[in-house]
């Protein structure tokens, strides 16, 4: 497997639940290193731009409202097969369908408030990391 980077967001619901550390611990135990991080209140424009691929979906407005409802924790993760590994740690989009022991099964309340975001491909990971972090703020480790 190749060394990859992926973009992760701890969403407003999980930040409000005070489980940032619990989620970071899962990344670290799985061999993913935090190589960039910041807490941030997304503007409407930033949230709309980030989820632009979903613009025509019926859930787009609710998704944007939720993502700007409070601060988020944004991080780039690095490790072997990081994109898929992070998606496995996250579990299914709908927490009711997420496997036991995944972040969404343990911390998410609904398909809308589902605790975390993770890039879904290596190509999108590069785009999403650059959306939040200038190259000088990502640290090779
Ligand atoms: P994310 O992008 O946040 O990591 O989530 P994902 O890949 O698992 O799911 P995606 O299809 O990209 O959808 C983005 C977010 O939109 C909300 N959603 N709601 N009501 C619905 O049918 C529905 N489908 C998606 C979720 O909050 C999802 O995380
Ligand atoms: Mg997605």
Query: What's the CATH code of the domain at 80?
Result: 3.30.70.141
ipTM of the complex: 0.95
Residue 34: which H helix or E strand, with range?
A: strand 33-40
**Ordered per-residue pLDDT tens for the chain, 141 residues:** 899 999 999 999 999 999 999 999 999 999 999 999 999 999 999 999 999 999 999 999 999 999 999 999 999 999 999 999 999 999 999 999 999 999 999 999 999 999 999 999 999 999 999 999 999 999 988
Beta-strand ranges (E) seen in 42-83 are: 72-80
Domain containing 74 equals 3-137
Mutate to test the pocket of ligand 1, among 42, 47, 93, 111 (most ligand atoms within 8 A of CB): 93
Q: State the distance from the centre of ligand 1 to the C-alpha of 141, rounded, in angstroms.
A: 30
Tell me the pTM. Answer: 0.97
Q: Which residues are catalytic?
A: 117
Give the count of domains, the chain. 1
- What's the N-to-C CA distance of the chain in angstroms? 18
């Amino acid at each position: 497997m190749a060394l990859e980077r992926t973009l992760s967001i701890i969403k407003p619901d999980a930040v409000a639940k005070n489980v940032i550390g619990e989620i970071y611990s899962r990344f670290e135990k799985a061999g993913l290193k935090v190589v960039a991080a910041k807490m941030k209140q997304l503007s409407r424009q930033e949230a709309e731009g980030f989820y632009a691929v979903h613009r025509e979906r019926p859930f787009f407005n609710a998704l944007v409202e939720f993502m700007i409802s409070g601060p988020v924790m944004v991080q780039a993760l690095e490790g072997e097969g990081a994109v898929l590994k992070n998606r496995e740690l996250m579990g299914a989009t709908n927490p009711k369908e997420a496997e036991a022991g995944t972040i969404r099964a343990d911390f998410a309340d609904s398909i809308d408030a589902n605790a975390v975001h993770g890039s879904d491909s290596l190509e999108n990971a590069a785009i999403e990391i650059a959306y939040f972090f200038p190259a000088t703020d990502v640290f090779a480790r």
